[in-house]
């Protein structure tokens, strides 16, 4: 049976105290909305509709950046969850199959849970996702008779007996598209909030003789983000889960609590990650690498056997081949460092390629930016770049060539050549001492 996804992302999120729409606050380097969309993508949804409202253009852009084929519809007047879902009616008018409703601020619903709901849908008209709450607080309650779900009662409308129920509503619902929108058409707003509740479709379905049931999950899956404190708790939960998964897959984390992952970090087994490492988005580390302490990586690829850090920064486009060494206080950006090459100390290599077995001396800089355009530096194989060399791009250094320490290279260096590009040294007899004596005297007079 085909499946479609509706993600509700219209809320303002006033408790976030932010101009940014709630669903665009980031978790593991990606907007909350993307986490919900990933859940839908993992079940192979044939169509996805995102319902936007506050900050709609920005939310729509984030959704399309993740999935260019997503359908975006707007909820102009926010009159409740049933009204929000109803905005997707036209976008799904020609769709025949099940529809799953998720929320852009609820990032942890697992694909296995959604699949369980879809399985239950084969025997029921409506399936609701519930959880046993440690503190039911103000959650809606699921009223069951055996496996039969009779109704969902919002806390503010519940009786004392209904408030004693601990099985709570997550808001996630699965139903056939035709049934879903038919039931929504009958939803009223005769309640304490004057809103159209999506939860009311359960009672309406039962009144029509249709069956409804609940699938349960761990409460942690249903964690919603409504405040900065919630966002912090969600980040902690994500990091804990990703650290555990990495170690289960054969990655050594020497001090797990100090390592910070992005939602899409990929690390091969037998890699060692030392304390206080931060992974931004778009990082892949192959097996057997070592990422040393206080390094920051984003948008890069590190191959087998490479070593990075300590205190290294790999920026987007950094590509490290096998057995590369990138050392302390080195920054690599949009550059290929080929097999066995070394950039060990205090260097910046940007918009460049470094050939295999080459050695980049301490303090080397590829001067890639002229204030308007970026230019590329090409360094060949087995090249030795002397310490404190400035490579003024565009420039190339051929295989087996060398540069002298302190050189400023402004022209190509042919293969095998030695480039010396610095002013002649002149020693002025006694001038150093005379100058310092004069300056010290001036300082003493001033004081």
Q: Are residues 179 and 258 in the same domain?
A: no
In a domain, 367, yes or no: yes
What average pLDDT score do residues 194-222 get?
93
Kindly write down the DSSP assignment for every residue of 291-345, as one continuous string.
Answer: E-TT-EE-S-EE-TT-EE-SS-EE-TT-EE-TT-EEEET-EEEEEEE-TT-EEEE
pLDDT-derived band at 193, boundaries 50, 70, 90? confident
Residues of the domain holding 102: 3-222
Residue 118: predicted pLDDT: 95
Query: For this structure, is 25 an active site residue?
Result: no
Q: What is the mean pLDDT of the chain?
A: 94
Instruction: Please tell me the total count of domains within the chain.
Output: 2
Q: Are residues 271 and 399 in the same domain?
A: yes
Using one digit for the tens of pLDDT, what is the confidence trace for 34-83? 999 998 788 888 999 999 998 999 999 999 999 999 999 999 888 899 99
Q: Are residues 258 and 186 in the same domain?
A: no
Residue 78: predicted pLDDT: 82
Using one digit for the tens of pLDDT, what is the confidence trace for 223-248? 999 999 999 999 999 999 999 999 99
What average pLDDT score do residues 305-328 get?
98
Q: Are residues 120 and 19 in the same domain?
A: yes
The domain spanning residue 86 has which CATH number? 3.90.550.10
What average pLDDT score do residues 179-205 get?
90
Please tell me which residue in 25, 296, 345, 375 is annotated as part of the active site.
345
In a domain, 153, yes or no: yes
Please give the model's pTM, rounded to 2 decimal places. 0.89
Residue 194: predicted pLDDT: 79
Residue 100: predicted pLDDT: 97
Measure the CA–CA gap between 286 and 9, rounded to whole angstroms.
36
Q: Which of 15-24, 196-205, 348-357, 420-429 has the highest mean pLDDT?
A: 348-357
In a domain, 228, yes or no: no
Residue 4: predicted pLDDT: 95
Q: Are residues 159 and 198 in the same domain?
A: yes
Omega of the bond leading into 394 within 30 degrees of 0 (cis) = yes
**Angle 239-242-245 from CA coordinates, rounded to 5°:** 150
DSSP helix/strand/coil, 390: strand
Residue 425: predicted pLDDT: 84
Q: Are residues 204 and 283 in the same domain?
A: no
In a domain, 294, yes or no: yes
Q: Are residues 101 and 173 in the same domain?
A: yes
Residue 155: predicted pLDDT: 86
1 has a pLDDT exceeding 90: no
Q: Which among 222, 256, 289 is the end of a domain? A: 222
pLDDT-derived band at 191, boundaries 50, 70, 90? confident
Q: With helix as H, strand as E and coil as C, how does the chain read?
A: CCEEEEEEECCCCHHHCCCCCHHHCEECCEEHHHHHHHHHHCCCCCEEEEEEECEHHHHHHHHHHHCCCCEEEECCCCCCHHHHHHCCCHHHCCCCCEEEEEECCCCCCCHHHHHHHHHHHCCCCEEEEEEECCCCCCCCEEEEECCEEEEEECHHHCCHHHHCCCEEEEEEEEEEHHHHHHHHHCCCCCCCCCCCCCCHHHHHHHHCCCCEEEEECCHHHHCCCCCHHHHHHHHHHHHHHHHHHHHHCCCEECCHHHCECCCCCEECCCCEECCCCEECCCCEECCCCEECCCCEECCCEECCCCEECCCCEECCCCEECCCCEEEECCEEEEEEECCCCEEEECCEEEEEEECCCCEECCCCEEECECCCCECCEEECCCCEECCCCEEECCEEECCCCEECCCCEECCCECCCCEECCCCCCCCCCCHHHHHHHHHHHHHHHHC
In a domain, 164, yes or no: yes
What average pLDDT score do residues 94-120 get?
95
CB 71 within 8 A of CB 47: yes
In a domain, 435, yes or no: no
Q: Are residues 142 and 24 in the same domain?
A: yes
Residue 351: predicted pLDDT: 98
Q: Are residues 190 and 275 in the same domain?
A: no
Using one digit for the tens of pLDDT, what is the confidence trace for 335-387? 999 999 999 999 999 999 999 999 999 999 999 999 999 999 999 999 999 99
Residue 420: predicted pLDDT: 95
Number of residues in the chain: 447
The domain spanning residue 393 has which CATH number? 2.160.10.10
Alpha carbon 240 to its chain's center:
15
Q: Are residues 200 and 255 in the same domain?
A: no
Q: Are residues 177 and 123 in the same domain?
A: yes
Using one digit for the tens of pLDDT, what is the confidence trace for 392-431? 999 999 999 999 999 999 999 999 999 999 888 899 999 9
Strand partners, 350: 333
Residue 41: predicted pLDDT: 81
What average pLDDT score do residues 178-194 get?
89
What average pLDDT score do residues 148-173 get?
90
pLDDT-derived band at 436, boundaries 50, 70, 90? very high
In a domain, 295, yes or no: yes
CB 82 within 8 A of CB 196: yes
pLDDT-derived band at 136, boundaries 50, 70, 90? confident
Strands (E), 199-261: 212-216, 252-253
Q: Which among 185, 206, 222 is the end of a domain? A: 222
Q: Which among 222, 257, 292 is the end of a domain? A: 222
In a domain, 68, yes or no: yes
Q: Are residues 215 and 256 in the same domain?
A: no
Report the percent of the chain where pLDDT is more than 90. 86
């Amino acid at each position: 049976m085909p499946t479609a996804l509706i993600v509700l992302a219209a809320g303002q999120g006033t408790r976030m105290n932010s101009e940014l729409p709630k669903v665009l606050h980031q978790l593991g380097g990606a907007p909350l909305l993307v986490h919900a969309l990933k859940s839908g993508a993992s079940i192979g949804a044939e169509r996805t509709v995102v319902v936007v409202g506050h900050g709609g253009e920005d939310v729509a852009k984030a959704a399309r950046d993740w999935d260019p084929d997503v359908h975006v519809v707007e909820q102009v007047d926010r009159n409740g969850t049933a009204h929000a879902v109803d905005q997707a009616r036209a976008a799904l008018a020609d769709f025949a199959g099940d529809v799953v409703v998720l929320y852009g601020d609820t990032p942890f619903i697992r694909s296995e849970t959604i699949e369980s709901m879809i399985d239950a849908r084969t025997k029921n008209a409506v399936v609701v996702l519930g959880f046993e709450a440690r503190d039911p607080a103000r959650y809606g309650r699921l009223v069951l008779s055996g496996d039969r779900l009779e109704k969902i009662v919002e806390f503010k409308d519940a009786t004392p007996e209904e408030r004693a129920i601990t099985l709570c509503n997550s808001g996630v619902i699965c139903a056939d598209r035709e049934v879903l929108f038919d039931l929504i058409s009958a939803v009223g707003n005769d309640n304490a909030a004057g809103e159209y509740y999506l939860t009311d479709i359960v009672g309406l379905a039962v009144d029509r003789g249709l069956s409804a049931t609940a699938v349960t999950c761990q409460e942690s899956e249903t964690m919603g983000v409504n405040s900065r404190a919630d966002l912090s708790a969600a980040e902690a939960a994500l990091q804990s889960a990703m650290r555990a998964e990495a170690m289960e897959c054969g990655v050594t984390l020497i001090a797990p609590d100090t390592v910070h992952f992005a939602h899409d970090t990929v690390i091969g087994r037998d890699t060692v990650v030392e304390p206080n490492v931060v992974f931004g988005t778009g990082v892949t580390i192959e097996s057997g690498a070592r990422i040393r302490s206080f390094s920051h990586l984003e948008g890069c690829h590190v191959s087998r056997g490479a070593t990075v850090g300590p205190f290294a920064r790999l920026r987007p486009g950094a590509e490290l081949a096998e057995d590369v060494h990138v050392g302390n206080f080195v920054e690599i950006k949009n550059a290929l460092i080929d097999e066995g090459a070394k950039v060990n100390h205090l260097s910046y290599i940007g918009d460049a390629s470094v050939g295999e077995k080459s050695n980049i001396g301490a303090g080397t800089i590829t001067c890639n930016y002229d204030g308007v355009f970026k230019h590329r530096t090409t360094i060949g194989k087995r090249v030795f770049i002397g310490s404190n060399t400035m490579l003024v791009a565009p420039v190339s250094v051929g295989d087996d060539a060398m540069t002298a320490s302190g050189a400023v290279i402004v022209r190509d260096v042919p293969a095998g050549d030695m480039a010396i590009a610095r002013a002649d040294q002149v020693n002025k007899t006694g001038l150093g001492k005379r100058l310092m004596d004069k300056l010290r005297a001036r300082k003493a007079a001033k004081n």
